[in-house]
Amino acid sequence: MIEYRKYTGVLDHLELSGFFVGWPHPPDEQKHREILKRSYLSLVAVDLDQARIVGFINVISDGILSAYIPLLEVLPEYQGRGIGSELVRRALAELNGFYMVDLCCDQGLQPYYERFGMVPSQGMIYRNYTALK
């Protein structure tokens, strides 16, 4: 059974591994937990039978006007079950009063996010890949 919760330190006992597939230098579990704790909002999908976090989304925000969704991930073996969609829906509901909610994604993922009312936009990014080592 999958349950959705806001991430807090109370969930530190749950397994949190297997994310960041394909990243050249993924954050370790300690950094991953720190990301979830320090974000404006972090929602997780928990497989209660396995005592394991199987998906997450996090939001960075000024808490007033704007928010940014940097990460949405679902473990490969749990994909295709609507977990990512539910995490996005819940995050957007929490951010309902904000003027802007932005995220960057590969062009191939744009149709996924369009289902939630998001529209393609142009932007600029900088990646410091050495920071991940």
Q: What is the pLDDT of residue 73?
A: 98
Cα 2 to Cα 56: distance, rounded to the nearest angstrom: 12
Q: Nearest CA to 67 among 87, 40, 93?
A: 40
Per-residue pLDDT for the chain (133 aa), expressed as one digit of tens each? Answer: 999 999 999 999 999 999 999 998 899 999 999 999 999 999 999 999 999 999 999 999 999 999 999 999 999 999 999 999 999 999 999 999 999 999 999 999 999 999 999 999 998 888 888 887 6
pLDDT for 39 equals: 98
β 2-6/100-102 pair status: unpaired
pLDDT of residue 31: 95
pLDDT (tens digit per residue) in 15-48: 999 999 999 889 999 999 999 999 999 999 999 9
Helix (H, G, I), strand (E, B), or coil: what is residue 10? helix
**Could you tell me which residues come within 8 angstroms of residue 71 by beta carbon, excluding any fewer than 6 positions away?**
35, 56, 57, 58
Which domains can be identified in the chain, with CATH numbers?
A: 2-132 (3.40.630.30)
- For residues 15 and 29, give the distance between their C-alpha atoms in angstroms, rounded to a whole number: 9
